[in-house]
Amino acid sequence: MSEKRESTTPSGIPRKPAYGPSDWDGSSYASGVADPGCFPYTRGVRADGYRGKLWTFRQYSGFGTADESNARYRYLLDQGQTGLSVALDLPTQLGYDSDDPRAEEEVGRVGVAIDTLDDMQRLFAGIALERITTSFTINATAAVLLAMYVAVAKRQGADLRKISGTIQNDILKEYVSRGTWIYPVEPSLRLIVDTIDYCSRELPRFNAISVAGAHFRDAGATAVQELAFTLADGITYVQRCLERGMEIDAFAGNISFFFYTHSDFFEEVAKYRAARRIWARLMRERFGAHDPRSWAFRFGLVCGGSTLQAEQPMNNAIRVAFEAMASVFGGASSIFTAAWDEPFAIPTQESAELALRTQQILAYETGAAEVADPLGGSYYVESLTDATERHVLGIMAEIAERGGMVACVEGGYIQQLIADEAYRKQRRIEAGDDVLVGVNRFRTNGTAHRLELFELDDSSVRTQIARLQAVRARRDPARAGAALAHLRAAAEGTENLMPPLIEAVESYCTLGEICDRLRAAFGEFREPIVI
């Protein structure tokens, strides 16, 4: 007789072989679960789920020049994509111009290069910003990219109050997991509050922040840690806005969130259900929000990330499909399905189309979108949701006891937790305790077939640099100089930086010039040494 195997979720929550009424008897239904569309939104923020409106279909895309990326966007929109998700190259994320020596070899490689307003205009040529939502995965330079987007909308004659979209703009997780920071913590938080304040007044449909747990997860955090760290970051941003004197209901409805969905199907569903419940209670009971929109936890996500494997890469399409279904059952507002070839390169047009078709088949052929929270009432899912909430709240309490998320980031505590978990995960994979099909089990003998991968044309870099230099040559130098001087003075003072940033981009100041003025005023972040 075989020995019984113990099982836990990847976050370490014990799993029984079966669940029944004794594991969840529904006694917490009224206060903790309720119907879809009702506080605390465990079962979703909309009463009809996706019946009235499907999630937004996004494909994270951008490479080379703005013209090349624009062509990919227009193709995907023609194929049924319903929202844009802009990938920016590393120099743009770090505040360097494409002709900066520090940008060498990285221009246009992992995203599109945006140096000036001219690039942003090219990126959205032929795309009406009033009729599309755009998500920018950008953090340290988020305020500058927002200023450019506003300037493009104004040139299109758009009503800014109708512009919708998101800038990620979550710097705290950059210090922990991605590394695309520029400025120290405090001035970075000031920039974030400036964007939230500006959008609450001028762009009421635009999300000035998407608090992003995704990168915690891909750096090695568990699902429970991902959610706890994300919510702790969200609390920090809310507190900073309140300290600025903003009213909670003036901005809370435009805070969104961003995650990775990994492969443990039910843990991911429970994570999103618990997230809605925790956030709703925080906003209503801790922060005193009165508007139900402020209580609603809205989130987008990526299906893919570090779950994609270079070995037997076509398996990635299957992984992404299951992750997408878990995301739908979890109630995501927008979904980006990664392409199977992303472990190697920027997706080809064909692999990006297949990733989009994955969402469309899920939406229109499977019936998954016909019923709100179809797993609600499952003994296992409800029990796992409750357990996830308990574990998340425990981690959040520990962070609070240590002085909050800023103190934990500056001291390296969060970084150490993630590094420890990443190490444990790798050890489990190497030991075969965590199975990765095609990687540590069910490997294929023989030579793999040749992959047709995307290749960036080196002429794109030359084109980008030539256009940047042409913009510098034809702009009004006095106007640009005055705008940069105003920005530097504003950064050294206390005024909201969005108006001088918009003035600078409309004067065709470059991204690098703008960030250099802010560097001079703010300094640069230095990573803590964790032993």
DSSP string, 438-482: TTTBSPPPSPPPPP------THHHHHHHHHHHHHHHHS-HHHHHH
Mean pLDDT of 182-189: 96
Is the preceding peptide bond at 40 cis, omega within 30 degrees of 0? yes
User: 44-48, 147-151, 216-220, 344-348: which has the minimum mean pLDDT?
Assistant: 344-348
The confidence score (pLDDT) of residue 147 equals 98
The helix/strand/coil state of 333 is coil
The confidence score (pLDDT) of residue 367 equals 97
The confidence score (pLDDT) of residue 31 equals 59
Long-range contacts of 424-427 (CB under 8 A, 24+ apart): 425/10, 425/220
Q: What is the homologous superfamily of the domain 50-369+380-431 according to CATH?
A: Methylmalonyl-CoA mutase (3.20.20.240)
The confidence score (pLDDT) of residue 531 equals 47
Gap between the Cα atoms of 246 and 481, Å rounded: 33
- The per-residue pLDDT for range 189-229, each reduced to its tens digit, is 999 999 999 999 999 999 999 999 999 999 999 999 999 99
Gap between the Cα atoms of 69 and 172, Å rounded: 29
The confidence score (pLDDT) of residue 27 equals 60
- The per-residue pLDDT for range 466-521, each reduced to its tens digit, is 999 999 999 999 999 999 999 999 999 999 999 999 999 999 999 999 999 999 99
The confidence score (pLDDT) of residue 1 equals 39
Other C-beta atoms closer than 10 Å to the C-beta of 525 total 19
- The per-residue pLDDT for range 403-458, each reduced to its tens digit, is 999 999 999 999 999 999 999 999 999 999 999 999 999 998 754 556 777 777 77
pTM equals 0.94
Enumerate the domain spans of the chain.
Answer: 50-369+380-431, 459-522
Q: Which comes out higher in pLDDT, residue 31 or 399?
A: 399
- The per-residue pLDDT for range 233-283, each reduced to its tens digit, is 999 999 999 999 999 999 999 999 999 999 999 999 999 999 999 999 999
